[in-house]
Amino acid sequence: MFAAKLMHDGRILHYTSGTCIVEAHSPRWHAASIHIMAEIVIPWNAARRWLLPAALILLSAHLLVWMYHYWIADVPWLVRQLVALDEENNLPTWFSSFLLLTASAALVLKRAGHDPMATGAMSTTRELRFWSLLAGGFFVLAIDEVAGLHESFHSAIDTLWVWSAAVLVAACALYFVPLLRILPRRTMLLYVLSGAIFVGGALGVETIGAPMDADTLIYEVTVLVEEGMEMMGVLLFIDATLASIGKKTIPVRID
C-alpha cells in the first residue's frame, strides 16, 4: 500500500485509486512537496518457497553428473562446467551470488523499517550502523562469489586462505555480539545457526577438502557438502531476516 500527500497552499484534491492514495493541497503540482508512506508486505517464506527448491536442484545436478561421470561414462566438459559447484562463472556460482545479494537486500529493508522502540538501550544510530555493515558485508561476499577474490588472495600467500578468514570471522562475530543480544530470541538463534552452518561449510569443509585428490568422486561429494552448507546457511539467514521484517511502513520524502 502506498500513500502520497502533496503539500502546498491551495485547494484540496483527494484521489484514491487501488492501493495508492494521493492528497494534493496545491493547484501547481510542480511546486509540491511529496510525502510517501510505503507499506511493504514481505513474503517471509519466500526463501524456502522459491530459493530452497532451486538450491536443491543445483546440488542434485552436481552430484548426479559426477556420479554418472565416475561410475558410468565420461560426461562432456561443457556439461560438467555448467553444473560443477567448484567451478567459476556457471549456474551454481551465479545462484550463490544471487543468494548473497538477496540477503544484502533483505538487510537493507530491515534497516529501512527499523523500529527505534525495539532496540532497548542501544542507540538507533548504532543499530543502523550494524545493519548497514551486515548489508555491505553480504554485498561484498556476492561480488567475491563471482570475482573469486578469495582465490586470488589464496594464490598470493603461502598458507591456506581459510586461516586468515577464520581470524576475520572471529573478529566480526565479536563485533556483532551487541546486536545479537538485543534481537528477539528466535531471530538471534537463527542468525547464530545460519552463521555456524555457513562458516562450517566455507571454512571447515574447505579445510578438509583442500588436501584431497580433485579427480575423485569423494572430492566432489566434499564440494557438495561445502557448497550446500553455504547455500543453506544463507537461505536460513534470509528466511530469519524476512520473518523479522514482516509488514513495515517506510516513510520517504521527496521535495
Instruction: Render pLDDT for 42-69 as a digit per residue (tens, 0 to 9).
Output: 666 777 889 999 999 999 999 999 999 9
What share of the chain in percent tops pLDDT 70? 69
Residue 94 clears pLDDT 50, i.e. is over it: yes
**DSSP 8-state assignment for residue 32:** -
Of the candidates 143, 140, 137, 231, the one whose C-alpha atom is nearest the C-alpha of residue 176 is 137
Q: Considering the chain, what is the average pLDDT of its residues?
A: 80
Query: Rounded distance, CA 66 to CA 73, Å?
Result: 10
Average pLDDT over residues 125-135: 91
pLDDT class of 206 with cuts at 50, 70, 90:
confident
Cell of 72: 558410468
pLDDT at 41: 62
Grid cell 555493515 in the structure block, residue: 133
Q: What is the largest CA-CA distance in the chain?
A: 80
Residue 26 clears pLDDT 50, i.e. is over it: no
pTM comes to: 0.78
Q: List the beta strands (DSSP E) in 13-163.
A: 13-17, 20-24, 33-41
Query: Rounded distance, CA 18 to CA 240, Å?
Result: 31
Residue 248: strand pairing partners: 40
The set of long-range contacts for 12-15, using a CB threshold of 8 Å and a minimum separation of 24, is: none
Q: List the beta strands (DSSP E) in 18-168.
A: 20-24, 33-41
CB 98 within 8 A of CB 138: no
Comparing 98 with 13, the larger pLDDT belongs to 98
Residue 9 clears pLDDT 50, i.e. is over it: no
pLDDT at 40: 58
CB 39 within 8 A of CB 247: yes
Please give the helix or strand (H or E) that residue 248 lies within, else none: strand 247-254
